[in-house]
Amino acid sequence: MAIYKRYTNKKKTRFSWRVVVYTPTNKFDRYGNVIKEHVSVGSYPTEKEAKLAEREFLNNLDEGKIELNKDATFREVILFYLDFAAKEGRYAEGTIANYKCLHKMHLNLFDSVKVRNITSRLIRSWYKSAIEKELSPYRINDCIKLLNASFNHAIKEKQINTNPFSDMKREIIPKKLRKRFSVDELKELFKSCKESLPDYYCIFVISCMTGMRVGEYTALTVESINNSVIYLEKQYTRGELKNRLKTSSSTRVVHPSNMVLEAIQWHMDTYNIRSGLLFKNSKGNPVSAKWVWRRFNTLLEINGYPEKYCRVHDLRGQYVDLQHLVGTPTEQIAREVGHSRTSTTSDIYTQILDEVPVTMNRKMDSLFKDI
């Protein structure tokens, strides 16, 4: 909002007080700044009347009585957010590509509809269509996430003042029982891996015993390991080495066990690695996620496990379960694996918790075994 004098004659002897509101558009200048356009609220003979009009406009805006950019369409709001997300730099290229795919494949029904015409009936029609197309609960939730992010961003930037999707409830995701290895099974797998797939051995130990993501341990360097801790600041994803991790909480210090440190030292000695990347291919680049997946599947096959018994990513859950088994507090486990919320650690990754009450009671009984 702004109030300024506007002269009404060339000699600048007469003027009025003009009230203007500046609203961002979905366009950017060459420096990446949002281009704003101004909308005149009105002109008033005195400054006092102009200030009164300004206050009244702001109050009506807060109460939703004034509709900013009333002709804005759904497509404009989505593109406004996607432009912002691409230029803001916080989102990976893969995330932006996923958002664009969601818009193109699953949300184009709304494209030409003006924001003020998006009704609950139209939203229910979209939801019904998504169910009929057998869109997974994960994909539906991704769509809802994008919708709310886009419209809330447009509201924050004074593009619009309503989010018709704010009451949409996310789908309940059914819990999947992921396959886990017992301690004895892991011992056999470690031994087999070292003998049959020595180039994968260190990675397999790290993935099971630290809970790192694939992109995190494939980007590890010798220099990131110092004083028996591992500093995670980079990731290798989609063929690109990036100086940032998945989220802010992912940038962390990992405290590896002696077994992990010994495996790393063995790997460095065996393959004569003294600096730079810890795991690299014949061209000197980081090993890819596909290479890791293939090696893991080969290890499963060698040891008689069925195809796709579990995923490489499930080894993060394996680590979480092992830590719970030895009594590590959930808060500490969450920090080690880079979760911002402990609920993620407990609800998604941990399957050992069902056994905790039994273990607790056995430990408690052992205190009184002499009675």
More confident: 347 or 59 = 59
More confident: 328 or 352 = 328
Q: Under a CB-based contact definition with an 8 Å cutoff, are residues 206 and 230 in contact? A: no
Q: Under a CB-based contact definition with an 8 Å cutoff, are residues 349 and 317 in contact? A: yes
Q: Among positive and negative, which fits the CA dihedral 58, 61, 63, 65?
A: positive
Q: What is the pLDDT of residue 248?
A: 53
Reduce the secondary structure of 64-96 to three states and give it as a string: CCCCCCCCCEHHHHHHHHHHHHHHHCCCCHHHH
Which tens digit of pLDDT belongs to each residue from 142-160?
999 999 999 999 888 877 8
Please name the residue ranges forming H helices in the chain.
47-62, 74-88, 93-106, 120-132, 137-156, 183-196, 198-209, 214-217, 258-270, 289-302, 314-325, 330-337, 342-344, 356-366
Tell me, yes or no, if the pTM score tops 0.85. no
Cα–Cα distance measured from residue 231 to residue 216, given in angstroms and rounded to the nearest whole number: 10
- The least confident of 14-18, 28-32, 250-254, 265-269 is 28-32
More confident: 60 or 112 = 112
Which tens digit of pLDDT belongs to each residue from 180-226?
888 899 999 999 999 999 999 999 999 999 988 898 899 999 999 98
More confident: 10 or 61 = 10
Which tens digit of pLDDT belongs to each residue from 26-35?
566 666 666 6
